[in-house]
Structure 1
């Protein structure tokens, strides 16, 4: 009897999955802009004797030049001997630059090519994702033949999607000359991201859409737009909605990279495959939303194509997601990474049946995460009020040592998430909104008194998370001449303490001048013969 029920549910699940996948494909996705490449077919073939053998085979369609790493020159294609010089490669399809030798030396030269065929034993570009137009072959004839056939087609105009968008105003990379968050730089397998000091720059031509940058970004400053988060969540919501409406049960959302090997045949009937550009392009906002929309599990199917940098970043994000789910009383393994070989090994870890969420993806990354968390927390039966998180988590609180804090508010100016705020009245205050805290550490690096520190955690109650609370406040210090409030007492005391031995503040009058507001200070200086270096009427002393 139970076997027949199981078979019946399997049939229902398959039909429901078919309808759900059709509904997913029907969701309109906003197109992204395109990045264009131009190639004229100039190709550098780098290697030894083998390079000289291969280059003439490219003559029909391309214009090869050999960068000869060792051996004697032979006819067949132009040759540039490396001659022991260092070789550096920069660029991408249509705009590669090969720098030979040390800049400024007589033997230094730079070559411009459109394509590179690297026949070195190990790739000269050691990246998880190499730039378009760069090819490496180990020397096997079958592989070389396939590469030659591919590069021969690489002339003319080419285009690819622009995978990202970037908002420097909320980037936590740096402020006030201090550097903090480097998550995107550390995770990018294409070396497409560089630091500009307080912001970053993404090279659209080098970016291959790995997506790890967007997944690890704590603020959502880098956003994946192929598809956008809004469209991606709309597709997920529609997929699970139709699956339920058609009677499907225990849905498992399986994210997989379109560029990886295909998923195994005969997936379980309740597995719903969702193809994405790259596996790391979906992060915690999508994973948690899938659970909130009714998925019993989320599986990230790794077909073996993830570069080490990306795999490391994904594991860190999965650990964070597990800590959050565990604190709410849900299985920590409801979101897991699996190879294609162990994709079917479910074991324990399915979510309990919950009412499906209906929120859309309108808003940023953090807002989507909070939408999902609020929905899951509301239906959790054994949730704690707070999750303690590992170091590096993008949620947390701030503590201030009130005896050390002078309310200079340097931390407020440095905070990219506007979690730290000044008071809105006459009373000097430092206030904190925990929902906005990125745990980037810019406040701790900026504070001149070392009075502030951060601790990762996540408050589940939205009211507590969004409550603006005061970390420190003082009565304003009033000008001793006119009574105008212009600082805090701790600031004045700190200034007097630090400047009392300075040669310009040796007189009592000069030291007292620190207790005056700007306007009264100017008046006092003008009336002070010693400060002016002469009489009040401006005549200099002889």
Structure 2
């Protein structure tokens, strides 16, 4: 197998080079398998935008069933002080919970379990807890011996429904505590709150599943050199795992923060309960109501349920008009597409407020979304302070007020009154971003629709070096969203820029190092969503019959690769490479060297 190309006529069928399998042939055969498995023609389906819209609508209609969790009230109490833990355990036992204590051992003691009154007591060090509400497991050690809890309980159930951790540093393995894990430390107020809430968490519970994964879009596991791990790295609960080829979600651990969908460049992860469409529809309705009451577009304040509305109102001093406060369940559900869509649906400015308690990877990802939005606004000659990102520090007693952007645009050109857009919110986030940017471009008066973006942006184009490219089509075969594709009646690669995620898989696959990425946002949506020729050459004609069957670059490449091959050792055999399949076969039979 090599990376050569051997195509004929319309460059969608391929000839055999006497047993040599080319990269283009592999690509062609893969497409044939896709056509057979789908029952249709892949190339034709890609050319019909209406079918893609139907696919998006179908995906939006997919729902996942809710989770059912049974909690029998088995509660693990982890504490440094056995007397304090016993008092709390007895109190919770009176309220109907079945409690087990976990306390430190004496030095060099063995890991053991005993019983004090109605309570089981585990003595061990290096306690580690994993799992989620209704299924927490514990590992502990003593005297250098590490054991899981089932080894102590024999045949009894070795997991807990709830955990009350009284240590200064919680024993949970993840970066963020899940539902059902209470870690008040030694704070008496927080302990009292936990003691009041724990008995209520016994019984049968249902809650929604928050994530919907489209494996066909996912970039993970497609390349060892250019593997995408963004969702795995940002998840604060380790609810996402990988087997090396594909990712999987633990729906019981996932709390729906939305960080995975926020950083996914391929829009392979979509959030449910609520969906993005539901958030944007509610947001647009609020802005529409506010615009009726105000003379100018209101400033929009986005925050989540962890920040009190009253606190925000005392911290934000508006410079005119009344801001619109919009609460979401998780602030990390707000990405670039929501920020730009808000500006195109009546918001004069958008301020994103992130609580200080958010994990650093999530707050950093949110800030990158805002910075990316500012880059787009700057490219369209809008004031960049129409988008702001603020980390709310709850411990401030007398904070300085957050000043909203000046409506006169003192640091840039006067802010335009943007007429509302009319595009629906049911699209994926990439399409929403492009539609919103296209609307902003149309009303901005800017002449340049292409805006350069940072290197890590998931939008852009692909540039192919004409001097190096041999049109082997390996890039088209490696592109998951088929932003690059081979089509037409000539040696040609076309690019649909709106589909390009800048994942770099095409660069990895290219044997000629002829591809480079060009991160940018093309604000002309019609142009971004239409195929453009990225590389095209005149066909090479058979030297015997004149039939076009390859490109000159590919002929040169084949001659170079097969130089010295035993099947192409003579001048006549080398000349045969410049013939079409029919003429090549006839010449080999005539020469008598056909094997």
* TM-score, structure 2 as length reference: 0.74
1:288 Cα offset (Å): 0.8
What is aligned with 2:209?
162
Rounded to whole Å, the distance in 1 between the matches of 2:430 and 2:74 is 46
Alpha-carbon contact 1:30-1:231 (below 8 Å) kept: no
Alpha-carbon contact 1:390-1:456 (below 8 Å) kept: yes
Rounded to whole Å, the distance in 2 between the matches of 1:361 and 1:259 is 26
1:277 Cα offset (Å): 0.6
Alpha-carbon contact 2:77-2:89 (below 8 Å) kept: yes
What is aligned with 2:464?
400
Tell whether 2:220 aligns with 1:173.
yes
Rounded to whole Å, the distance in 2 between the matches of 1:57 and 1:48 is 18
1:125 Cα offset (Å): 2.7
With over 3 angstroms needed to count, the CA separation of the structure-2 counterparts of 1:107 and 1:354, relative to structure 1, is closer
Tell whether 2:331 aligns with 1:279.
yes
- The partner residue of 2:529 within 458, 461, 466 is 466
What is aligned with 2:71?
39
1:505 Cα offset (Å): 6.3
Rounded to whole Å, the distance in 1 between the matches of 2:373 and 2:554 is 42
* Unmatched 5+ stretches in structure 1: 1-28, 533-542
SS in 2 for 1:67: strand
Tell whether 2:499 aligns with 1:436.
yes
SS in 1 for 2:432: helix
Which whole-Å deviations, capped at 9, do the CAs of 1:152-197 have from their partners, x for residues lacking one? 3222112223223222222233436664333323332222222344
| Equivalent pairs, count | 499
Alpha-carbon contact 2:418-2:443 (below 8 Å) kept: yes
Rounded to whole Å, the distance in 1 between the matches of 2:406 and 2:135 is 51
* TM-score, structure 1 as length reference: 0.80
- The partner residue of 2:267 within 195, 201, 220 is 220
Rounded to whole Å, the distance in 1 between the matches of 2:351 and 2:520 is 25
- Higher deviation after alignment, 186-195 or 325-334: 186-195
SS in 1 for 2:356: coil
- Higher deviation after alignment, 348-357 or 280-289: 348-357
SS in 2 for 1:472: strand
- Higher deviation after alignment, 297-306 or 437-446: 297-306
What is aligned with 2:367?
315
SS in 2 for 1:153: helix
Rounded to whole Å, the distance in 2 between the matches of 1:49 and 1:524 is 91
- Higher deviation after alignment, 391-400 or 514-523: 514-523
Rounded to whole Å, the distance in 1 between the matches of 2:577 and 2:160 is 64
What is aligned with 2:102?
67
Alpha-carbon contact 1:249-1:270 (below 8 Å) kept: no
1:323 Cα offset (Å): 0.4
SS in 2 for 1:170: coil
What is aligned with 1:113?
160
What is aligned with 1:331?
383
SS in 2 for 1:390: coil
Rounded to whole Å, the distance in 1 between the matches of 2:71 and 2:137 is 13
1:420 Cα offset (Å): 0.9
Rounded to whole Å, the distance in 2 between the matches of 1:222 and 1:30 is 13
Alpha-carbon contact 1:174-1:442 (below 8 Å) kept: no
* Unmatched 5+ stretches in structure 2: 1-60, 151-157, 393-398, 410-414
Alpha-carbon contact 1:128-1:309 (below 8 Å) kept: no
- Higher deviation after alignment, 184-193 or 429-438: 184-193
Rounded to whole Å, the distance in 1 between the matches of 2:62 and 2:594 is 67
What is aligned with 1:147?
194
Alpha-carbon contact 1:525-1:531 (below 8 Å) kept: yes
Which whole-Å deviations, capped at 9, do the CAs of 1:473-518 have from their partners, x for residues lacking one? 2344567788876654434543443444567766778767766778
After TM superposition, the structure 1 = structure 2 runs for residues 92-111 of structure 1, keeping only pairs within 5 Å, are: 92-100=132-140, 110=150, 111=158
After TM superposition, the structure 1 = structure 2 runs for residues 20-35 of structure 1, keeping only pairs within 5 Å, are: 33-35=65-67
Rounded to whole Å, the distance in 2 between the matches of 1:372 and 1:251 is 18
SS in 2 for 1:168: coil
What is aligned with 2:406?
348
Give the root-mean-square deviation of aligned CA atoms: 3.6
SS in 2 for 1:357: coil
Alpha-carbon contact 1:167-1:222 (below 8 Å) kept: yes
SS in 2 for 1:219: coil
What is aligned with 1:22?
none
1:324 Cα offset (Å): 0.3
With over 3 angstroms needed to count, the CA separation of the structure-2 counterparts of 1:342 and 1:379, relative to structure 1, is farther
Rounded to whole Å, the distance in 1 between the matches of 2:226 and 2:141 is 33
Rounded to whole Å, the distance in 2 between the matches of 1:527 and 1:45 is 88
What is aligned with 1:450?
513
